[in-house]
């Protein structure tokens, strides 16, 4: 018996609902979200595809008492949070109060400051431990599989990892002039902030998109890749202290960057409220309302995503080793299976599998834990059959 409460009926929630419904370890599933009709639509799609009915509910996940009431009434074993990063802390609070385990795919961000770091969530560790509850942080693809790849490499291939470059390429084409692949507000906040990487025991800050170079992605070819800050760097350097340099690269097309620059220059990326016709609006939230819904991109999306980790260091045999582990995901295949594009798919598949790892007692331990703190083996044994196979290359030119 394992009751799974999924919170958030967006692109990622759609994939989690499909994958969880196909997994018999979850005996009961509920999908709760702010707009119940969206959860109902997903439940219909799941019933048609998988032949299993999941329950739905309306919830405001910013409201702790409301969450606690739902949890006390429905009694989930775990809340899987694929709403927005703003909801991480309210859902973690509610889980503590109602005695429910927790999993998410993105670390907490305050609404009024474009800043994400683990400190807020790590501060819950003692309370979760005392309550005998587990919170699994960052179980999407990046963060998520990216950190599990590092744990896998550290366990099986390296005596010491010295450098890590996480390389994230979306070579897909959705045919729109401008759209974001996941929640536009979160996406634009993430990619317009300053870059940051870890080197020789300290963080080095860069201007946004200041450092870039072409990187060659398998089955895709060279793509201009930009150094940005990404949250898993913070937890990975903590848990793998031999890493001397850790960086994150993401590809952006010229068109995308031009749109982004205009959006910033005209003030539409602002996250502080402005008055418009006597009503307070937050420009980036208004922008989200007029941009394409990432969930709607799937139908015409073609091409591949490629996300992986390039590492160097000393191998188990004491010799220098370079290593590249990656997954390529096809937008069209993701759409055929779940009705969403590959960015939602690559996030939702690991989230559902992480919850299954916990449900089956393969990932255990009370407290607030990042994915790389669990045994990577059972996860890596199943991630391929769940739809995200990995490939490993040894002693190759890492390019970075
Ligand atoms: P969407 O915007 O498509 O979906 C978010 C959903 O959460 C919407 O259904 C929204 O409701 C719901 N929601 C928002 N606020 C609340 C609230 N207060 N109470 C209840 N429900 C709420 O986003 P995505 O599916 O693209 O992304 C989901 C999460 O996944 C995000 O946190 C994102 O950062 C993360 N992510 C992680 C990645 C990784 O690899 N680790 C990659 C991509 C995304 P409504 O429909 O009413 O707006």
pLDDT digits (tens, 9 = 90+) for 50-90: 999 999 999 999 999 999 999 999 999 999 999 999 999 99
Instruction: Assess whether 48 and 176 both reside in one domain.
Output: no
Please report which confidence band the pLDDT of residue 174 belongs to, taking 50, 70 and 90 as the band edges: very high
Tell whether ligand 1 has an atom less than 6 A from the beta carbon of residue 354: no
Tell whether ligand 1 has an atom less than 6 A from the beta carbon of residue 84: yes
Instruction: Assess whether 336 and 320 both reside in one domain.
Output: yes
Rounded to an integer, what distance in angstroms lies between the CA atom of residue 316 and that of residue 139? 27
Tell whether ligand 1 has an atom less than 6 A from the beta carbon of residue 183: yes
pLDDT digits (tens, 9 = 90+) for 5-23: 999 999 999 999 999 999 9
Please report which confidence band the pLDDT of residue 294 belongs to, taking 50, 70 and 90 as the band edges: confident
Instruction: Assess whether 254 and 315 both reside in one domain.
Output: yes
Full domain range(s) for residue 55: 3-137
Instruction: Assess whether 151 and 130 both reside in one domain.
Output: no
Predicted pLDDT at 120? 96
Tell whether ligand 1 has an atom less than 6 A from the beta carbon of residue 107: no
Whether 347 is covered by a domain: the verdict is no
Whether 356 is covered by a domain: the verdict is no
**What spacing in Å lies between the alpha carbon of 347 and ligand 1's midpoint?**
11
Whether 13 is covered by a domain: the verdict is yes
112-116, 250-254, 260-264: segment of lowest average pLDDT: 112-116
Checking DSSP bridges between strand 212-217 and strand 202-206, what pairing results, if any?
unpaired
Domain boundary among 137, 164, 189: 137
CATH of the domain at 11: 3.40.50.720
pLDDT digits (tens, 9 = 90+) for 135-154: 999 999 999 999 999 999 99
Predicted pLDDT at 179? 93
Ligand 1, residues 7, 308, 347: which to mutate, most atoms within 8 A of Cβ?
Answer: 347
Whether 374 is covered by a domain: the verdict is no
Whether 325 is covered by a domain: the verdict is yes
CATH of the domain at 337: 3.30.360.10
Residue 198 has pLDDT above 90, yes or no: yes
Cβ proximity of 225 and 257 under 8 Å: no
State yes or no: cis peptide before 136, omega within 30 of 0.
Answer: no
**Which ligand 1 atom is at minimum distance from the Cα of 13?**
25
pLDDT digits (tens, 9 = 90+) for 206-223: 999 999 999 999 999 999
Domain boundary among 137, 156, 185: 137
Rounded to an integer, what distance in angstroms lies between the CA atom of residue 117 and that of residue 139? 15
Per the structure, the count of domains in the chain is: 2
**What spacing in Å lies between the alpha carbon of 63 and ligand 1's midpoint?**
16
272: which residues sit within 8 A by CB, 6+ positions away?
Answer: 112, 282
Tell whether ligand 1 has an atom less than 6 A from the beta carbon of residue 328: no
Tell whether ligand 1 has an atom less than 6 A from the beta carbon of residue 142: yes
């Amino acid at each position: 018996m394992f009751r799974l409460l999924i919170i958030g009926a967006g692109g990622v929630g759609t994939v989690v609902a499909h994958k969880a419904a196909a997994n018999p370890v979850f005996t009961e599933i509920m999908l709760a979200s702010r707009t119940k009709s969206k959860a109902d639509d997903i439940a219909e799609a799941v019933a048609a595809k998988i032949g299993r009915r999941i329950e739905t509910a309306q919830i405001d996940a910013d409201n702790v008492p409301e969450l606690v009431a739902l949890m006390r009434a429905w009694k989930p074993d775990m809340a899987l949070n694929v709403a927005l990063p703003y909801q991480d802390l309210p859902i973690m609070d509610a889980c503590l109060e109602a005695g429910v385990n927790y999993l998410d795919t993105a670390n907490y961000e305050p609404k009024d400051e474009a800043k994400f770091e683990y400190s807020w969530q790590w501060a819950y560790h003692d309370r979760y431990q005392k309550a005998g509850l587990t919170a699994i942080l960052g179980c999407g693809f990046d963060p998520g599989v990216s950190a599990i790849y590092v744990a896998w490499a550290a366990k099986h291939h390296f005596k010491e990892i010295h450098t890590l470059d996480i390389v994230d390429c979306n070579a897909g084409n959705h045919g729109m002039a401008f759209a974001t692949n996941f929640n536009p507000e979160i996406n634009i906040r993430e990619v317009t902030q300053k870059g940051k990487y870890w080197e020789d025991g300290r963080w080095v800050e860069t201007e946004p998109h200041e450092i870039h170079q072409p990187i060659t992605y398998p089955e895709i070819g060279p793509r201009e890749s930009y150094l940005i800050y990404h949250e898993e760097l913070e937890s990975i350097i903590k848990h793998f202290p031999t890493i001397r340099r850790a960086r994150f690269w993401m590809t952006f097309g010229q068109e995308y960057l031009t749109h982004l620059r205009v959006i910033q220059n005209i003030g539409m990326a602002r996250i502080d409220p402005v008055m418009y016709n006597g009503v307070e609006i937050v420009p980036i939230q208004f922008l989200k309302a007029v941009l394409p819904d990432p969930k709607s991109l799937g139908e015409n999306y073609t091409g591949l995503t490629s996300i992986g980790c390039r590492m160097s260091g000393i191998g188990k045999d004491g010799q220098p080793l370079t290593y590249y582990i990656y997954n390529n995901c096809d937008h069209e295949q993701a759409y055929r299976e779940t009705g969403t594009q590959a960015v939602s798919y690559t996030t939702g598949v690991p989230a559902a599998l992480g919850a299954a790892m916990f449900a089956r007692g393969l990932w255990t331990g009370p407290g607030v834990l990042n994915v790389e703190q669990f045994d990577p083996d059972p996860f890596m044994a199943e991630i391929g059959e769940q739809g995200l196979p990995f490939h490993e290359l040894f002693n190759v030119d890492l390019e970075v």
